[in-house]
């Protein structure tokens, strides 16, 4: 299935800096098509370009000014709004999807989607929401559920990244677990460490199991396990040397 990436639409943004923040988030998560409804005037020396980061090179300069009607007529629209107390009896803003639910829904269809954000102070009004296909809202604390416009866009685009970012372009990250033989060697070094420190025999088996469970849950990489082995190898060598000195000092004087 060929899936078009969503476009981002901001309706009557009041602060150029928020436009720049949204453009930057788009650049972060693989989107390029920004559309603005009745935007403020902003130039290269404005906050919009100051906040846009590398998006000042392509996303922001290529932003298109459009009418709200054009967006509704040409896209499957998702209105982004704060959570409200509305329910099935009052469905202007209900039902809504969370960003994760929206991602899973969009994965199943081929459609031209517009993610529509409203004004900083009032968001999308009820008339605009009544013309939008579905609503998305970001769950937040009931004490203060309203996010800043730039924050909301960043959170939503992050959650949709599976649909917008080519995984082959992501930086390589070492994800493979260390070789089991090396992990077992590490446990041997740890056992030697317990022995060298005089750790109690009655607690040694339990402590060994605890470490094994800890390492098992963490899935260490080769580099991590070799670093730990190097640390314990050095500690064990120093402990052996110390113990040898102590043993020599405790020997009776052969000449007496």
Measured at the alpha carbon of residue 159, what is the angle toward residues 220 and 128, in degrees to the nearest 5? 170
Residue in 241, 22, 30, 225 with CA at minimum distance from that of residue 120: 22
Measured at the alpha carbon of residue 218, what is the angle toward residues 216 and 221, in degrees to the nearest 5? 100
The residues, ordered by sequence, that sit 6+ positions from 229 with a Cβ below 8 Å of its Cβ are: 182, 185, 186, 189
Backbone φ and ψ of 148, nearest 5°: -60, 150
Note whether 155 and 28 are within 8 A (CB).
no
Tens of pLDDT along 67-123? 999 999 999 999 988 755 544 445 445 567 899 999 998 888 788 899 999 988 888
Tens of pLDDT along 147-180? 888 999 999 999 999 889 876 555 555 557 888 8
The domain 7-169: what is its CATH number?
3.40.1280.10
Domain extent listing, the chain: 7-169, 180-250
pLDDT given at position 101:
92
Sign, Cα dihedral of 238, 239, 245, 248: negative
Q: Is the pTM of this model over 0.85?
A: no
DSSP letter at 251 equals S
For 223, how many CA atoms within 13 A lie in the half-sphere containing its CB?
4
């Amino acid at each position: 299935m060929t899936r078009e990436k969503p476009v981002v639409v901001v309706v009557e943004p009041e602060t150029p800096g928020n436009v720049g923040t949204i453009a930057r988030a788009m650049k972060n998560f693989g989107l390029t098509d920004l559309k603005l409804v009745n935007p403020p005037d902003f130039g290269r020396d404005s906050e919009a370009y100051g906040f846009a980061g590398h998006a000042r090179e392509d996303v922001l300069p290529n932003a298109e000014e459009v009418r709200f009607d054009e967006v509704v007529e040409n896209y499957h629209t998702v209105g982004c709004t704060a959570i409200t107390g509305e329910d099935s009896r009052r469905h202007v803003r209900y039902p809504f999807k969370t960003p994760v639910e929206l991602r899973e829904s969009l994965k199943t269809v081929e459609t031209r989607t517009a993610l529509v954000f409203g004004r900083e102070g009032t968001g999308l009004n009820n008339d605009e929401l009544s013309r939008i296909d579905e609503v998305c809202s970001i769950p937040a604390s009931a004490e203060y559920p309203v996010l800043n416009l730039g924050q909301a866009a960043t959170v939503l685009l992050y959650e949709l990244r599976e649909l917008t970012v080519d995984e082959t372009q992501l930086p390589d990250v070492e994800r493979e677990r260390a070789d089991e033989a090396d992990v077992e060697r590490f446990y041997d070094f740890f056992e030697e460490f317990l022995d060298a420190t005089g750790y109690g025999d009655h607690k040694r088996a339990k402590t060994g199991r605890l470490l094994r469970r800890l390492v098992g849950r963490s899935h260490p990489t080769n580099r991590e396990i070799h670093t730990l082995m190097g640390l314990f190898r050095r500690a064990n060598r120093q402990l052996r040397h110390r113990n040898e000195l102590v043993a020599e000092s405790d020997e009776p004087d052969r000449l007496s």
